Protein backbone atom coordinates (compact mmCIF):
# COMPACT_ATOMS: atom_id res chain seq x y z
CA UNK A 1 0.00 0.00 0.00
CA UNK A 2 1.28 3.46 -0.86
CA UNK A 3 0.28 6.57 1.04
CA UNK A 4 0.08 9.96 -0.62
CA UNK A 5 -0.87 13.47 0.22
CA UNK A 6 -1.64 16.46 -1.96
CA UNK A 7 -1.07 20.06 -0.92
CA UNK A 8 -3.58 22.57 -2.21
CA UNK A 9 -2.81 26.28 -2.29
CA UNK A 10 -0.72 27.81 -5.07
CA UNK A 11 1.45 30.87 -4.66
CA UNK A 12 1.59 32.28 -8.18
CA UNK A 13 -1.93 33.72 -8.35
CA UNK A 14 -2.45 34.71 -4.78
CA UNK A 15 0.81 36.66 -4.59
CA UNK A 16 -0.90 39.23 -6.84
CA UNK A 17 -3.39 39.87 -4.04
CA UNK A 18 -2.94 41.52 -0.71
CA UNK A 19 -2.55 38.53 1.49
CA UNK A 20 -3.63 38.53 5.10
CA UNK A 21 -2.73 34.90 5.61
CA UNK A 22 -1.54 32.01 3.46
CA UNK A 23 -3.03 28.62 4.15
CA UNK A 24 -2.72 25.13 2.76
CA UNK A 25 -4.84 22.05 3.02
CA UNK A 26 -3.56 18.49 2.83
CA UNK A 27 -5.37 15.56 1.26
CA UNK A 28 -4.35 12.11 2.41
CA UNK A 29 -5.10 9.00 0.39
CA UNK A 30 -3.72 5.52 -0.02
CA UNK A 31 -3.38 3.33 -3.09
CA UNK A 32 -3.60 -0.39 -2.57
CA UNK A 33 -4.24 -3.59 -4.45
CA UNK A 34 -7.76 -5.03 -3.95
CA UNK A 35 -6.28 -8.05 -2.18
CA UNK A 36 -4.71 -5.76 0.42
CA UNK A 37 -8.15 -4.60 1.60
CA UNK A 38 -9.72 -6.23 4.61
CA UNK A 39 -12.64 -8.58 4.04
CA UNK A 40 -15.34 -5.99 4.66
CA UNK A 41 -13.83 -3.50 2.21
CA UNK A 42 -13.21 -6.20 -0.40
CA UNK A 43 -16.84 -7.26 -0.16
CA UNK A 44 -18.00 -3.67 -0.59
CA UNK A 45 -15.84 -3.23 -3.71
CA UNK A 46 -17.26 -6.45 -5.13
CA UNK A 47 -20.82 -5.24 -4.46
CA UNK A 48 -20.04 -1.95 -6.22
CA UNK A 49 -18.69 -3.88 -9.20
CA UNK A 50 -21.82 -6.06 -9.29
CA UNK A 51 -24.02 -2.97 -9.06
CA UNK A 52 -22.58 -1.65 -12.35
CA UNK A 53 -24.69 -4.32 -14.03
CA UNK A 54 -27.90 -2.67 -12.80
CA UNK A 55 -27.02 0.70 -14.33
CA UNK A 56 -29.43 2.25 -16.81
CA UNK A 57 -26.97 4.03 -19.06
CA UNK A 58 -28.27 3.96 -22.65
CA UNK A 59 -26.80 7.42 -23.34
CA UNK A 60 -23.32 7.40 -21.79
CA UNK A 61 -22.78 3.62 -21.81
CA UNK A 62 -20.72 4.32 -18.69
CA UNK A 63 -21.99 2.06 -15.93
CA UNK A 64 -21.23 3.07 -12.36
CA UNK A 65 -21.93 1.07 -9.23
CA UNK A 66 -21.84 2.21 -5.62
CA UNK A 67 -22.13 0.14 -2.46
CA UNK A 68 -22.66 1.57 1.00
CA UNK A 69 -21.86 -0.07 4.30
CA UNK A 70 -24.25 1.13 6.98
CA UNK A 71 -23.83 1.02 10.72
CA UNK A 72 -25.12 -2.38 11.75
CA UNK A 73 -23.63 -4.09 8.72
CA UNK A 74 -26.34 -3.58 6.10
CA UNK A 75 -25.08 -2.96 2.56
CA UNK A 76 -27.05 -0.86 0.08
CA UNK A 77 -26.18 -0.65 -3.61
CA UNK A 78 -26.99 1.84 -6.33
CA UNK A 79 -26.14 2.49 -9.95
CA UNK A 80 -26.42 5.39 -12.36
CA UNK A 81 -29.90 5.87 -13.77
CA UNK A 82 -30.02 8.03 -16.88
CA UNK A 83 -32.90 9.68 -18.67
CA UNK A 84 -33.50 11.20 -22.09
CA UNK A 85 -33.96 14.47 -20.19
CA UNK A 86 -30.38 14.34 -18.96
CA UNK A 87 -30.92 16.36 -15.79
CA UNK A 88 -33.50 13.84 -14.60
CA UNK A 89 -30.93 11.09 -14.24
CA UNK A 90 -28.85 10.47 -11.17
CA UNK A 91 -25.50 9.02 -10.23
CA UNK A 92 -24.84 5.67 -8.58
CA UNK A 93 -23.65 7.29 -5.37
CA UNK A 94 -26.80 9.33 -4.84
CA UNK A 95 -29.05 6.44 -5.89
CA UNK A 96 -27.49 4.40 -3.08
CA UNK A 97 -27.35 7.25 -0.55
CA UNK A 98 -30.95 8.34 -0.97
CA UNK A 99 -32.28 4.80 -0.96
CA UNK A 100 -30.27 4.06 2.19
CA UNK A 101 -31.63 7.10 4.00
CA UNK A 102 -35.17 6.36 2.87
CA UNK A 103 -34.97 2.77 4.15
CA UNK A 104 -32.63 3.19 7.13
CA UNK A 105 -32.89 6.84 8.20
CA UNK A 106 -31.08 6.31 11.50
CA UNK A 107 -28.14 4.28 10.17
CA UNK A 108 -24.87 6.14 9.65
CA UNK A 109 -22.95 5.45 6.46
CA UNK A 110 -19.58 3.94 7.34
CA UNK A 111 -18.10 3.38 3.87
CA UNK A 112 -18.81 3.65 0.18
CA UNK A 113 -17.19 1.73 -2.66
CA UNK A 114 -17.45 3.00 -6.23
CA UNK A 115 -16.61 1.10 -9.41
CA UNK A 116 -17.31 1.68 -13.10
CA UNK A 117 -17.33 -0.09 -16.44
CA UNK A 118 -16.48 1.97 -19.49
CA UNK A 119 -17.97 1.89 -22.98
CA UNK A 120 -15.97 -1.28 -23.70
CA UNK A 121 -17.87 -3.02 -20.89
CA UNK A 122 -14.68 -3.57 -18.88
CA UNK A 123 -14.00 -2.18 -15.43
CA UNK A 124 -12.03 1.04 -15.68
CA UNK A 125 -8.30 0.66 -15.20
CA UNK A 126 -8.16 3.75 -13.00
CA UNK A 127 -10.48 4.40 -10.06
CA UNK A 128 -13.19 6.97 -10.67
CA UNK A 129 -14.11 9.62 -8.12
CA UNK A 130 -17.61 10.89 -7.30
CA UNK A 131 -18.84 13.99 -9.16
CA UNK A 132 -19.10 17.30 -7.31
CA UNK A 133 -22.81 16.96 -6.59
CA UNK A 134 -22.33 13.50 -5.08
CA UNK A 135 -19.41 14.76 -3.00
CA UNK A 136 -21.71 17.36 -1.47
CA UNK A 137 -24.41 14.72 -0.84
CA UNK A 138 -21.84 12.40 0.71
CA UNK A 139 -20.54 15.16 2.95
CA UNK A 140 -24.03 15.82 4.28
CA UNK A 141 -24.51 12.09 4.93
CA UNK A 142 -21.21 12.10 6.77
CA UNK A 143 -22.25 15.06 8.93
CA UNK A 144 -25.60 13.41 9.64
CA UNK A 145 -23.91 10.15 10.61
CA UNK A 146 -21.36 11.85 12.83
CA UNK A 147 -18.44 9.73 11.65
CA UNK A 148 -16.05 9.73 8.67
CA UNK A 149 -17.21 7.85 5.58
CA UNK A 150 -14.41 5.71 4.17
CA UNK A 151 -14.14 6.03 0.39
CA UNK A 152 -13.03 3.04 -1.67
CA UNK A 153 -12.55 4.10 -5.28
CA UNK A 154 -11.98 0.92 -7.21
CA UNK A 155 -10.01 0.61 -10.42
CA UNK A 156 -9.23 -2.70 -12.09
CA UNK A 157 -6.01 -3.28 -10.19
CA UNK A 158 -5.84 -0.50 -7.61
CA UNK A 159 -8.17 0.96 -5.02
CA UNK A 160 -7.82 4.52 -3.77
CA UNK A 161 -8.75 4.71 -0.10
CA UNK A 162 -9.69 7.93 1.67
CA UNK A 163 -10.83 8.37 5.24
CA UNK A 164 -13.55 11.00 5.06
CA UNK A 165 -15.48 12.89 2.41
CA UNK A 166 -13.52 16.09 3.07
CA UNK A 167 -10.62 14.36 1.24
CA UNK A 168 -12.52 14.82 -2.03
CA UNK A 169 -14.30 18.06 -1.06
CA UNK A 170 -11.95 20.32 0.87
CA UNK A 171 -13.97 23.49 0.26
CA UNK A 172 -17.53 22.36 0.73
CA UNK A 173 -20.67 24.47 0.43
CA UNK A 174 -21.15 26.52 3.64
CA UNK A 175 -17.68 25.62 4.80
CA UNK A 176 -14.50 27.56 4.18
CA UNK A 177 -11.18 27.24 5.93
ZN1 LIG B 1 -22.44 12.08 -8.99
- The three-class DSSP label of residue 142 is helix
Count the neighbouring beta carbons within 10 Å of the beta carbon of residue 15: 9
Distance 158 CA to ligand 1 centre (A): 21
User: Which positions are catalytic?
Assistant: 93
Query: What domains are defined for the chain?
Result: 31-167 (3.40.140.10)
The pLDDT profile of the chain, 177 residues, written as one tens digit per residue, is 788 877 666 555 555 667 788 888 899 999 999 999 999 999 999 999 999 999 999 999 999 999 999 999 999 999 999 999 999 999 999 999 999 999 999 999 999 999 999 999 999 999 999 999 999 999 999 999 999 999 999 999 999 999 999 999 998 887 665
Residues with CB under 5 A from ligand 1 (ion): 91, 131, 134
Residues 100, 138: Cα–Cα separation, whole Å: 12
Cα of 138 vs centre of ligand 1, distance in Å, is 10
Amino acid sequence: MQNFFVLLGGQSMITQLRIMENKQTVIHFALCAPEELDESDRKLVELARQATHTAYAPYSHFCVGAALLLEGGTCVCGSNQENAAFGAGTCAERTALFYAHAQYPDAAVKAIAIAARGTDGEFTQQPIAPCGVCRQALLEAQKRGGQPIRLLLAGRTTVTVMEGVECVLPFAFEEIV
